[in-house]
């Protein structure tokens, strides 16, 4: 068996994630991934046994990159400033052309009937780490019941994304931010 080159693997993962993000897992073929990555289908299958394995690897790599980026965000010591930053960043991201929401959420919804799919486990782990990060930020800011408030804020964040996409109305993100702000200021 030929040795797999890390740069080829990276090209395939980048191509796959871009296609999965834009079109959804089910609508992307391995032929499309190979073409976008500039490799043969044979090379693609030398790197990944199946489309399911490819999706899991693409999400795992994306999770690592996203979590590394999240950990670089400044965490204001003020809970209101933290929530404003969180939802402000989401609003700025949602204002970009062709914004389609959160890839991990979209994949889990698409694979809702496949509970044992490895991509769902990766998405679960990713979301848990983000929730822990929000919990720590809220605790550092002195918010009581930080774990519960973090869970509520994550629900508002995810709900704002889904409703903004559903209705084509980004004002749901602002509404989510207002509700999250109220959660961290109540006594």
- Domains along the chain? 6-50 (1.10.10.60), 73-185 (no CATH)
* Residues 6+ away with beta carbon under 8 Å from 126: 59, 63, 66, 67, 104
CA distance 80 to 159: 19
- pTM of structure: 0.84
Average pLDDT per block of 10 residues along the chain, 187 residues long? 77 92 88 96 94 91 86 82 93 89 85 87 92 94 95 96 93 97 87
């Amino acid at each position: 068996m030929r040795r797999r080159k890390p740069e080829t693997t990276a090209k395939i993962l980048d191509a796959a994630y871009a296609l999965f993000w834009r079109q959804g897992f089910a609508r992307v073929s391995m032929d499309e991934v190979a073409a976008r990555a500039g490799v043969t289908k044979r090379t693609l299958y030398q790197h990944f046994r199946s489309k399911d394995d490819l999706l899991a690897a693409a999400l795992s790599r994306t999770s690592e990159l996203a979590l590394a980026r999240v950990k670089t965000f400044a965490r204001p010591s003020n809970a209101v400033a933290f929530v404003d930053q969180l939802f402000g960043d989401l609003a700025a991201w949602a204002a970009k052309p062709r914004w389609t929401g959160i890839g991990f959420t979209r994949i889990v919804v698409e694979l809702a009937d496949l509970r044992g799919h490895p991509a769902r486990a990766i998405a679960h782990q990713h979301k848990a780490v983000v929730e822990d990060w929000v919990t720590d930020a809220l605790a550092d800011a002195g918010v009581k019941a930080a774990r519960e408030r973090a869970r509520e804020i994550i629900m508002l964040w995810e709900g704002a994304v889904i409703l903004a996409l559903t209705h084509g109305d980004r004002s749901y993100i602002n509404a989510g931010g207002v509700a999250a702000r109220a959660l961290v200021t109540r006594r």
